[in-house]
Structures are given as structure tokens and as C-alpha cells.
Amino acid sequence: MHNDPQSAPANGDFTRRTFAVTTLAAGFALAVQPVSAQTITTDTTGLEAGEVKIPTPDGEIPGYRAMPAKAGPFPVILVVQEIFGVHEHIKDLCRRLAKVGYLAVAPALYARQGDVSTIKDISEIIAKVVSKVPDAQVLSDLDATVAWVKASGKGDTTKLGVTGFCWGGRIVWLYAAHNPSLKAGVAWYGRLISPPDALHPKNPIDLAGELKAPVLGLYGGADQGIPVETVDQMRAELKKANKTAEIIVYPDTPHGFNADYRPSYTKDKAEDGWQRMLAWFKQYGVS
């Protein structure tokens, strides 16, 4: 047994045996049910959509990919999950992007740490799984996803964008400081300042001067978890660093305003943000 290279971590790396999630959950995460009557469901007509396996240096992670059902390659959008993982809402967002011509892919970025789809309590999701997901691992998995898309021949990774929501909104800022090949990012209500720790050593505000791509931030003025003053601080840092970025704050709008399956959904702001996102990608070469 000791001769099996998979039986023990090498240099602290994870092995294939430690992956907690090997397939995506169906439907919506338990913590967000019952889902709202206004939940949007996008069909797969004209699309090729479904679960995929994405190779990383230490094994495969599942993901969801949607793209037009015609010859590519297509411009590529990485879709970064909320804290609830790659559940039905994130899959639907991929299909919406595919409907307008993108290859959209959402890798399961907690695959090693746990399955959040079966946990009812949000604080438990954060304590047991999300807090244990290292930023370095997330950035590496996004890089691996880009490499997988490129190797597939289906996506044109010279036209690469990233968008993310809530937990994923923060990751958009980090990835824009990480990948010099990124063309543009759109961060939906991602936290900008949090107490750092060993697994999450830097905040988006710490990386404002290191952005390698233009980023659009979409925020709610009534977000209980992201104080507007932190958004103002981020704006100031971006301006000081002379970075191409824009942050929209919708007045009297809560966190999760694009989450159409939740009570926080704010239809007019969500639709405005979606159009701004598409325009941002087009403006900066992700089209």
C-alpha cells in the first residue's frame, strides 16, 4: 500500500482520494430552498450543455459547461460560483451566456473541501467548507479550467473573461490580478475587505494596483455584508493605481440581487447589471 503514489499527499498536496465532490449536485443547494417562484430557467435549445470533468494537477474536478451547438471556437467566460457551489442557478447562468455566443464554464471550486449542496445552514457552509478553500487552489483550478478549454479546441482562450457572484465576486478581483491573459472581469457583490488569514492572505483592495485586466464591479447599496465605505475605498485605490475599472452601486439594493431564485432578487438591477456585464466583455475583447 505504501508504494501507491495516490495513498499519501506529496509535499502537502491533495491526492485524488481526498476529493469530496466528484459529480455536481442536481437542482438547488439545500440552504436556498424553497426556491422563489420567479426563478429563471434557461433551456438548452441550440446549446451543448452539461457536466464535464476538468483535469487539475492533483485529479479531476467536476464542472458545468454550456456553449452554442455549432462550430466554435467561442469566446470563453469563467463563471465563479456563489458560496452555494455549482448548483442550478450557476448552471443556468452558464446557459444564459451560451445563448449569446459564449463558452461558459463553472468549475466546482470546493471539490476537495466538501459538498455544500447538502448543508442547510449558511454559517455551517462557511465554517465547514468555504473557509477551508485556499485562494491559491482556486486560482490554480481556474488556470486549469482555461487550459482544459484551450485543449478542447471549443473555446478561444485569447478572448477570456471571468464573472463571479458573492464568494465568486471576490475571486474575480483576485483572478484579474493573477492571470495576465485575462481580457476582462465582472464581479457581482464580491467582498473587498475581510480579515486575512493563511489561506486567504490578500483582499481585492490589496491587489487593486496589480489588476491585469479591466474589472466591472456590481454592488448593492443596501448589502448588509459589504459596507458601501469599503466600495468607496476600493474605488479610491483603483483610481490611485490608474487601473481601468468601474464600480456600480445600485441604491437600496441588497446582496444577491441577481439571484433570481432567492428573495434578494431585484429584477431591474439584475437585468441592468447583466447588460452592463455583456457590454463590458464586448468592449474589452471578450466577444
The predicted model gives 229-236 an average pLDDT of 98
Residue 241 has pLDDT above 50, yes or no: yes
Active-site residue flag, 178: no
Determine if the pTM surpasses 0.85: yes
92, 141, 223, 260: which one is catalytic?
Answer: 223
Q: How many CB atoms lie within 10 A of CB 118?
A: 11
pLDDT of residue 158: 98
Record the cell numbers describing residue 161, joined without a space.
473573461
pLDDT of residue 142: 98
The predicted model gives 272-287 an average pLDDT of 98
Q: Where does the pLDDT of residue 20 fall: very low under 50, low under 70, confident under 90, or very high at 90 and above?
A: confident
Q: Where does the pLDDT of residue 6 fall: very low under 50, low under 70, confident under 90, or very high at 90 and above?
A: very low
Amino acid at 162: V
Strand partners, 216: 186, 246
Active-site residue flag, 223: yes
pLDDT of residue 92: 98
Give the distance from CA 170 to its chain's centroid. Answer: 9
The predicted model gives 133-155 an average pLDDT of 98
Residue 131 has pLDDT above 60, yes or no: yes
The predicted model gives 85-106 an average pLDDT of 98
Domains in the chain, CATH or no CATH each: 16-283 (3.40.50.1820)
Contact 264, 223 (CB under 8 A): no
255, 260, 268, 272: which one is catalytic?
Answer: 255
Residue 13 has pLDDT above 90, yes or no: no
Q: CA Rg, the chain, in Å?
A: 18
Compute CA distances 67 → 2, 33, 105, 141, 161, whole Å.
43, 28, 9, 20, 14
Active-site residue flag, 115: no
Angle at 64 between CA 197 and CA 246, to 5 degrees: 55
Closest CA to 176 of 146, 135, 204: 204
87, 166, 178, 260: which one is catalytic?
Answer: 166
The overall average pLDDT reported for the chain is: 94
Distance, CA of 281 to CA of 150 (rounded, Å): 19
pLDDT of residue 18: 74
The predicted model gives 193-207 an average pLDDT of 97
The predicted model gives 73-89 an average pLDDT of 97
